[in-house]
Amino acid sequence: MKRILFAVLFVTVPISCLYAAAPIQDAPFMQERHEPHPLESRDGNDVRAVAVDLENRVFAATKDGLYILENGKWISPENAPKGPMYDLYIDGADGVWVGSWDGLYRIADDHCEKIREIHGAISCLAGDGERIIALGPDDSWIYLNNEWRSVPRTWSGDVNDIAIDKDGSFWVAAGMGLHHVASYGSRYYYQDDELYSSEVNAAAFAPDGRLWLGELGGIDVYENGVRVDTVTSDDGLPYYDVRTLAFAPDGRLWVGTGLGAARYDGESWSLRHSRRWLLSDDVRDIAFDSNGGAWIATANGVSAIKTRMMTLKDKADHYLEICLKRHVREPWFVEKCFFPDPSNKNFYKVRDDDNDGSYTGFYMVMECFRYAVTQDPQAKANADRAFEALEMLQTITDTDGFLARTMIPSNWTEMADPNRTYTPQQKAEMQVRDPRYKPVEERWRSSSDQKWLWKGDTSSDEITGHMFAYLFYYDLAADAERKERVRRLVAKIMDSIIGGGYVLRDIDGKHTRWGVWSPEKLNHDPNWRVEKPINSFEILSFLKAAHHITGDETYQNEYKKLIEQHGYAQNARRPKSYGRADRTHIDDELFMFAAPALLLYEDDPELLAIYREALTWVYRTVENDQNPFFNFMFGCLGGNNFHLDESAAFLRDQPLDLTQWRIDNSRREDIRLVRHPMLEPLQTSRMLPPSERGVMRWDKNPWDVISGDFSDPEGRLESSGVFWLTPYWMGRYYGYIEAPK
């Protein structure tokens, strides 16, 4: 009840905003993270096997030799051989057995001993405490009762893995089938009715005693020597090329493939791939430490996937620390940052972006919700500074109401879209492709004090983001002095738009490329057919917000005029174009930015019914996007069934790493590639969890088969994390997420 009363003190909203039936409980959960452990040399990074001893020391068998990870660095044991290593086995005495190009070695107490009985390459090792089996392309050996003896080879020489059964017999996974070797004889499996594929790469016993076989094409499951199940991509296996199998201490199956590490918990599959999770998707071996951490041998080093217990509040603190540390630039813009060397997160560069104003506004809304929930003075101070930065985007233009897109220090020499000139031919080419294209040669102008450069050609998106931010700042965080500044700023912007004929007029006196809301364009110019519904909704939202903030009836009168004389409310009934070639997730986000002013502050029942119809119609087209911002916005504006469970799943599963890794799901075989909900680009047939796709910004399509930063596979860009923080604190404010207990 305290939360409800507290919220009412800040803003008058529909009572449905303040309740959530079964809110998300912020209980601790397991959060995964990736630790990369590359080796120093090219051959060293060619890792064939990995093992972890009882003291959690990690060993890597590589093309270059054997390495041990100590204090975060790889070292080669003294006297250890050099050259290709193939497999590792840790015995009960904590000795490390190494299959090498020239035989077998045991390392114990920092002493390396070559097993004199064994010569030639040893490519596979296994043991069960009583015996050790060492196989190579030519010879086979078993260690039992303290002696090594040769075992007659009855299987093909291209051995890939060994699994020892509880009766002491063993199974050999080979490139030409499966062999079961026992004291009473051996059996060879290779027929189609025995194996899904005769190229058997891995063998491992599950906790229930069944034998799992990884093959080229899928996985077979054997019980008492008989195949009882087969798992392929039709059953959820993400990729056909299975290289290794390992059962974790928690019972989950980890599958090393040519497309990362797939996991099976008995009901569903997940995939850890891309540089977010692995140094290479070419996985060769998997081992586990005593804490359940997975150590993964890849073609480019060793990756560790570890877990830690945390709450959503812990995660919010983690993201906010990153945001404030690396993503705030003067005068207080918040967006991406850039790492010249992606391995060094201590050195970064800030960048300008066309949407600096809008996304700084999104950040400001987050701080407003955080302040409303916690009364933390730092949250209010941050919101105040963000408002001052947005305010400066207007005052820096020395106009009566025009807003800059962004601004940078005048000594910057690198910026997005520098000034340029166009030839008449180039202008013609652009206008043939897009009749509305506006060639702007002077994008950057100097401020009157020469300290800044500011960027024009401001879009309708920016105005929408600004107005969304002013509304929540005014209601939740601004003190009396700043409320007055918000009123003046909003009045200047809206007076400029109204006086300009419902367009955003740039310094040249012409409307910017996208800043158009006029009836002449939206209702009567076919070139603006696609923008007609969303831009009608936007301008009504601006006017309603301006009336709420300033109390000036001018904006209410203009609002009524657009509705009564130009049909803007009817335009807004279906406030987005969803034609196959028209759809964009940018407009989904813009709708959610514009909706609060109309849904919270309209008191005419007929208009409110239209806006609620619009809200429901839009939401039903995006409700499967697993978007907590859209979900919570729909709920707080009175919507029902706004997918709290999916929002909780997103907030928990989103990785701690905010690097915008390029994540390519086009090779996966557990999904189909489709042209829905948009025609371009290709998209996935089902919504993948956030840990398996790129870092989001809510104007992007979460269904894209390739996501993240398309241009840079090295991971040089990092998100600010505001896409997660804003819905989290919004959920806390509206009671959809409980505080941690």
Mind listing the pLDDT tens digit for each residue in 37-70?
999 999 999 999 999 999 999 999 999 999 999 9
Q: Average pLDDT for residues 570-581, to the nearest whole number?
A: 90
Task: Mean pLDDT check: name the lowest of 70-84, 199-213, 661-675, 718-732.
Answer: 70-84
Q: Has residue 16 got a pLDDT over 90?
A: no
Choice among 19-33, 162-176, 275-289, 339-353 with the minimum mean pLDDT? 19-33
| Mean pLDDT within 5-32 | 61
pLDDT of residue 733 exceeding 70: yes
CA distance 599 to 603: 9
CA-closest candidate to residue 320, choices 380, 379, 386: 379
Check residue 10 and give its pLDDT: 35
Take residue 35 and report the two structure tokens written for it. 């630790």
Query: How confident is the model at residue 538, as a pLDDT?
Result: 98
Q: What digits encode the pLDDT tens for the residues 577-608?
A: 888 888 899 999 999 999 999 999 999 999 99
CATH number at residue 302: 2.130.10.10
Taking alpha carbons only, the member of 79, 83, 85, 55 closest to residue 69 is 55
For 127-151, the pLDDT digits (tens) are 999 999 999 999 999 999 999 999 9
In a domain, 343, yes or no: no
Question: What does the mean pLDDT of the chain come to?
Answer: 94
Cα separation, 355 vs 332, in Å, equals 14
Confidence (pLDDT) at 8: 33
Provide mean pLDDT across the span 712-717: 88
> Is 127 contained in some domain?
yes
147 - beta bridge partners?
144
> What pLDDT digit, counting tens, does each position of 423-465 carry?
999 999 999 999 999 999 999 999 999 999 999 999 999 999 9
Domain membership of residue 211 (yes or no) is yes
Total structural domains in the chain?
1
pLDDT digits (tens, 9 = 90+) for 376-424: 999 999 999 999 999 999 999 999 999 999 999 999 989 999 999 999 9
Whose CA is closest to 217, among 234, 239, 235?
239
Binned at pLDDT 50, 70 and 90, residue 22 comes out as confident
What is the band of 11 on the pLDDT scale with cuts at 50, 70, 90? very low
Residue among 684, 706, 699 nearest 629 (CA)? 699
The 10s digit of each residue's pLDDT in 459-483 is 999 999 999 999 999 999 999 999 9
Residue 21 confidence class, pLDDT cut points 50, 70, 90? low
List residues bridging with 131 in a β-sheet. 144
Q: What is the pLDDT of residue 249?
A: 96
In a domain, 455, yes or no: no
Q: Is the pLDDT of residue 6 over 60?
A: no
Q: What is the pLDDT of residue 3?
A: 33
pLDDT surpassing 70 at residue 20? no
pLDDT value of residue 257: 98
304-321 core/surface letters (b: 16 or more CB in 10 A; e: else): bbbeeebbbebbbebbbe
Q: What is the average pLDDT across 670-695? A: 95
Residue 153 has pLDDT above 90, yes or no: no
Please list the helix, strand and coil fractions of the chain in percent, rounded to the nearest 5, in that order.
30, 25, 40
Report the pLDDT averaged over residues 18-46. 89
Which is more confident, 185 or 324? 324
pLDDT tens profile 191-222: 999 999 999 999 999 999 999 999 999 999 99
Range of the structural domain that residue 94 is part of: 29-310
Cα gap 12→600, rounded to integer Å: 8
- Domain membership of residue 511 (yes or no) is no
Residue 656 lies in a domain: no
Is position 243 within any domain? yes
| Terminal Cα-to-Cα distance of the chain (whole angstroms) | 17
Given a cut of 60, whether residue 19 has pLDDT beyond it is no
Cα distances (angstroms) measured from residue 667 to each of 305, 353, 672: 22, 32, 10
- Dump strand ranges (E) for 387-525: 407-409, 444-446, 452-455, 503-505, 511-516
Q: What is the pTM of this model?
A: 0.94
Q: What is the pLDDT of residues 175-187, one digit of tens each?
A: 999 999 998 888 9
Contact 173, 160 (CB under 8 A): yes
Please report whether residue 360 resides in a domain. no
